[in-house]
Chains A and B, each alone.
Chain A
């Protein structure tokens, strides 16, 4: 199981729909460049380049699932958490463009569809979810881990629903029951999302413990110790 793509290829969704989503992706990308400049100003090129290389490299690192079976990370939610939605979406977009042009992964005519699903929906919806969760949950290791997990599950499932939506609008085959397709897509991706969620949570936690200032979603605040010191002392 190496080098198998899950990017939408040519001929799955009709040209008109692909063109509409290409326009959406382009607009999203312009906004991301402008807002990314606000986050990083002239550091944007080197920083986003290195983060994109990180996402790409992390997708190449297989982790064991069971002996003989391995998986790899998709990284959308991870990027959103670590570098924020703007730079995150920009990096994922560039990864997708390079994968289509240099690695023949994902159809050239479907770039807009893939960018919309994985970069825009994957990163922005995720960022909304995790910003909300971080407000509600305590700023502890557990809170951050739960946030990372939920955000990653949402990113993967929402991306797959994006594909279902695109297929409903411009699918090249009529008469396929959309409910069935949506159910199958969500089912498979919920499973993938659980794996993605566990790894995203563990990775973000690893970064947050060492350099909380580099986790964009924490906005420069440190993690709180999971049990307040006083209770530990009183228990002892």
Chain B
């Protein structure tokens, strides 16, 4: 339900991380996130190591800390949830500045904040170093069902077209002197959204006919992309392997 996804997060750079094939980066990022989530929350040192590992990857990818920090605001609602948890939990409490905080709630808050943040940063690093189309190619190479990658590819390709269309409708409305400011004036907005749907649907039909005339039979040729060299797999999997070692150590201690 996030708003304002107009700008894709890709950072046009050249770096070791940017040059890795997308499929190895997807595997590394997802594996990293899952391992972080599986780590027991009481082992706080493990999360410090994870943050360090991610910082190394971000530095190798030439992504500035500020760029990342600004985009982690996406998880603010859950941080708010984390902040109120210590006041809601029951059971054992600790006194802090004269306020009784629930120990269970504090652990829960820490859990949400740290695992949420590490997950967001890991996704941000993936998105920053991989162009959107490459992500789709990577998913295809990972044997993701083609119907999913196709729909996603169409969606990403036409997203900009549709949002431009929406922007033109808005400009047309404004140039006719209508600038709704209140919720009860939303009819113009809804009519615009309805028109946008009609245009999207009709465009879909035209695209389908155009595809048919070019010989579409219901399946696509697989997106090309290149297969990853063993060295590239090794480089990318260094992150989840290191993370796994830490997670194992954390689980055993």
A-to-B contact residues, CB < 8 Å: 1-12, 15, 18, 29, 33, 41-54, 56-67, 72-74, 82, 90-91, 94-95, 97-109, 118, 171-177, 180, 195, 198-199, 201-207, 210-211, 214
Contacts and interface: CB of A to CB of B under 8 A. Distances in A.
A99 B2 contact: yes
Contacts of B60: none
Contacts of A51: 200-201, 204
B74 A4 contact: yes
Nearest to B130: A102
Contact of B37 (A2, A10, A176, A195): A10
B126 interface: yes
B78 A9 contact: yes
A102 B135 contact: yes
Given A4-B3, A118-B1, A98 B166 contact: no
Interface string B46-67: 0000000000000000000000
A50 B116 contact: no
Interface size range on B against A: 35 or more
Most buried by A among B3, B74, B217: B3
A59 B198 contact: no
B134 to A, nearest CB: 11
A221 B75 CA distance: 44
A145 to B, nearest CB: 10
B104 A174 contact: yes
B152 A206 contact: no
Most buried by B among A104, A118, A198: A104
A171 B108 CA distance: 9
B193 A42 contact: no
Given A74-B1, A106-B2, A207-B194, 18 more contacts: A10-B115, A50-B201, A50-B207, A52-B155, A54-B200, A61-B189, A66-B181, A95-B155, A98-B152, A98-B156, A102-B156, A108-B34, A175-B89, A195-B183, A198-B186, A202-B187, A203-B191, A207-B197
A202 B3 contact: no
A229 B36 CA distance: 66
B197 A43 contact: no
Interface stretch (B4-12, B227-235, B236-244): B4-12
A26 B198 CA distance: 30
Contact of B88 (A1, A176, A214): A176
B253 interface: no
Interface string B79-101: 00100010011110000000000
Given A4-B73, A174-B91, A175-B102, A11 B124 contact: no
A120 to B, nearest CB: 15
Contacts of B150: 45, 49
A213 to B, nearest CB: 10
B151 A45 contact: yes
B215 interface: no
B118 interface: yes
21 contacts: A4-B73, A7-B1, A9-B116, A10-B33, A11-B37, A15-B34, A29-B148, A48-B154, A56-B5, A57-B166, A63-B189, A64-B180, A64-B186, A66-B183, A101-B135, A103-B9, A109-B34, A175-B89, A175-B91, A176-B90, A202-B186
B41 to A, nearest CB: 7
Contact of A46 (B29, B75, B102, B208): B208
